Every structure is written in C-alpha cells, then in structure tokens.
Amino acid sequence: MLLYFPMNYGRKLDPTPIQGNIDVTNLVDEYFLSYNAARLREACHLFAGKILKPDVTVGLALSGALTPAGLGYAALVPLVEAGFIDWIVSTGANLYHDTHRSLGFELYQTTPFVDDMKLRDDKIIRIYDIVFDQEVLLESDAFLRKTLEAPEFQKRMGTAELHYHLGKYVRAREKMFGVNYRSLLGVCYESGVPIYTSSPGDSTIGMNVAAMKFAGGKTEFDVEKDVNETTAIVYGAKAKGGKSAVIILGGGSPKNFVLQTEPQIQEIMGIDEKGHDYFIQITDARPDTGGLSGATPSEAVTWGKVDPEQLPDAIVCYTDSTIALPIMTSYSLANSEKRELRNLYDQRDNLVEELGKAYKEAQGI
C-alpha cells in the first residue's frame, strides 16, 4: 500500500544513480539529501542564493588549521577575489602558516599515524597529517621579524592595519620570487578586505611582536580599535539599508568576535538593531557541552546576535570545515555572479565615525 504525503511535507527522496562525470551543483542539489549533507546543501543554497546578493555585507570567521592544508589559496582566495567575502576574523595561526608557501617553502601530506619522536629527532613539525621542516618556521619567523621592523609597524594599531601591511610585504615577496602562490594576507591586501584577529597574542605573529619588544620594537595591538571597526562594518551595512551575513568555519574566539558586533551595537551602545540577517556555521562542536563553538543560532537570538525574524536563514552544518569549504566555494562560484569589491579596509575610519555619531545620539551625549 502506497502512502501519500502532501507536498508541503518536503521533497520526495527519489535519487538516481550517481554518474562519474557529475558536477558540484548536481552533486549537491541532487544527492546531498538528508542529515548533514542536506544541511550543507541548504548552506550552499543560502550562500549562493541570498547571501551573495549585492546589498549583503559578508563576514567570515576562520578557525582551525585550514591554511596549512592549502585551503587558503585553494578555497578562500577565490572567494575573496570574487567579492564574496568582505571582512574576516581569523586566528593568527591561519595567517602565519599561510605565508610559508609565499616564501617558497613546502608542506607535505602524510599519515597522522607517524612516530612523533622520530619526527622530533628529524626536526619535522606535524599538524595532524601535514608535515614540514622546522626550518620553515625559523625562516618564516625571520621574514616576519624583518618585516615588523619597517616604519609603518612602529606604533599602536588595530590588527586589520597590521595584517594589511604584512599582506603588502608578503605579496611583494611572492611577485619578486615568482612564487606560484597567493596568500590570504596578500590577496586581502590587494582586495581591500580587512582581516582581524580576535586574540592577537595567541599566534606566532603575536609571539614575534612580543619578542621584538625586548629589541625596542614599538608595535602594539589596539584591541579596542578592532572592536569598534568590526562593529562599525556591521552597523554601516545595516544603517544603509543593507544586510549582514556571517559565515563561521569552526568556532572559538573568531566565532564570538564576528557575532559580538550585534550585541555591541544593541546592548553596549544602545543603538536600535535586531541582529545579523544570515548565519552559516560549519562545526563539529555540540551545544550541550557548554562550549561557545557549538552554540546554536536560536541561542544566539537571545543575545541579539541573530535577527529572530531571519532564523530560517540560519544554518548549522555539523561537519568538518575541510569538507564543507571546498564544496561551498565551488558551488558559489558556479552559481553566483562575481560581486564588486567593497574595499572596506579604506572605509574603516568613516564607518567608525558614523558608528560614534549613532552611539552619541543613542546615549544623548
């Protein structure tokens, strides 16, 4: 006996056999049917269909060791150059490790089941199933310290400015030596995409900045400036009648920093706002363990981070970012028109000024 279900219950699950020459659009649309495959399909549709509209400002939170795996150049750089990412909050580690290939060094794939004692004896560094010579770190540090001696670094600055200047030098190095690689730092420098680090001391970049203090270095991180600039980017997008979207790969501090922009506007500054309009998170963290990384969009609504009226446009896919990111990148490039670069880096001061005016008005100052 056949049971009939009204169409509004959902899509009929009636796939055909997969063919060997299938493209990413058909693979996602026709075969990512249930469970987290379906959530990834929904994320692809939300990203390509709504988030990449011209009036949406897109922020990316980036955690985990994605750039050592090559996903900076392979997946993130194409998104930035297509105008699909407008601002970024990243761990410092992702930015630091992405410079190795720019400097001509090589990273290798291996198995995670290796003898770590032997690797240590051989001066080999391991990141799960990625290995490289310890000299890569030492030479990258030397380049970083030499760069940080330049005059433009000898002051207190936000991390977006620090990364902008670093990106200039890294991109120049790539061009000078003809390296067939473009780092995320270098491409964001050229594209005017500001990159922030929510915990600037928690990376080799911050460690080198700290060490150089003993040699008279004057580089300092202005974390208040980062809070104001990221908040101003979101406020500026919404105040002009546009929308704000956040794409979160992983969790941790970058996730909170990109999301806290809305509570900063509403709770701290007293400006009338509702929350981010679109929310996609790729995570393997569960919400019931008390960790922020697994906090759901509905939970974020209670903090004012996500607009409650937009909850259908908030998707969490429980999978590995190294699986989801290449698929989302390929799908969006295949199904969305390139967008004009917003060049938010050069707009930071004006955006902060407008945010300050709104704050004073809200507070009656």
Catalytic residues: 305
DSSP string across 111-146: -S-S-HHHHHHTTEEEETTEEEEHHHHHHHHHHHHH
DSSP string across 16-68: -PPPTT--HHHHHHHH--SHHHHHHHHHHHHIIIIITSTTEEEEEEE-SS-TT
Of 257, 255, 225, 258, nearest in space to 244 by CA: 258
DSSP state of 203: S
Of 258, 194, 254, nearest in space to 231 by CA: 258
Q: Residue 219 in contact with residue 153, Cβ under 8 Å? A: yes
Name the strand (E) or helix (H) holding 2.
Answer: none
| H helix and E strand count, the chain | 16, 11
Residue partners of 239: CB distance under 8 A and separation at least 6: 354, 358
